[in-house]
Amino acid sequence: MAEYRGCQLPEDLFYDLDYVWLRLGNDGLITIGVTDPAQTMGGRVLSVHIKKLGTALRPGRHVATLESGKWVGGIPVPFAATVAERNEALLADPHLVNVDPYGTGWIARLRPDDPEGALRGLATGEPAVSALKQWIDRYDVECMRCSD
């Protein structure tokens, strides 16, 4: 896994090159979460709201809202989709976003309206890592892995 200024940047995920990572599952659902540099910039997440199951989202709309002591942010979906699953563990313990952003800190699973085109236009692999490094420099982020 690539690492830059302490931030972990998995090459096998898809990215909107802002807050969000995405992972395609074998069942066609797409998991969404926030990147390591984004969780660092936000600080310790204190509360999370995830849209209800079955909510239809247009591209750019928020699937979730995270709030920390110093930041509030919506998590946008890059494609039209329906909320198929919510991370109930995250609702109970929002800090999981900081502890394990690519694992247990996932936010929701989405059913894309256009399964074949959903991830088209998103970045992955080395180009994504390169662009995320620029994002990290732009916002002057130094990643820290939170513990419990």
Of the candidate residues 62, 111, 133, 145, the single one contacting another protein (CB under 8 A): 62
Sort strands 30-34 and 108-112 into parallel, antiparallel or unpaired: antiparallel
For residue 140, state whether it binds another protein (rule: CB under 8 A). Answer: yes
In the complex with another protein, the residue whose CB is nearer, 139 or 144, is 139
In the complex with another protein, the residue whose CB is nearer, 29 or 38, is 38
For residue 44, state whether it binds another protein (rule: CB under 8 A). Answer: no
Of the candidate residues 23, 44, 61, 111, the single one contacting another protein (CB under 8 A): 61
Sort strands 45-50 and 30-34 into parallel, antiparallel or unpaired: unpaired
* C-alpha gyration radius of the chain: 14
Of the candidate residues 67, 85, 93, 100, the single one contacting another protein (CB under 8 A): 67
In 3D, which of 108, 50, 54, 56 has the Cα closest to residue 79?
56
Of the candidate residues 1, 5, 12, 60, the single one contacting another protein (CB under 8 A): 60
In the complex with another protein, the residue whose CB is nearer, 67 or 100, is 67
Q: What is the per-residue DSSP string for 83-141?
A: EEEE-HHHHH-TTHHHH-TTTTT--EEEEESSTTTTTTT-EEHHHHHHHHHHHHHHTT-
Only one of the segments 6-14, 88-96, 116-124, 134-142 lies at the binding site for another protein (rule: CB under 8 A); that segment is 134-142
* Sign of torsion over alpha carbons 127, 128, 129, 135: positive
- Chain contacts with another protein (rule: CB under 8 A): 18, 49, 60-62, 65, 67, 70-74, 76, 138-140
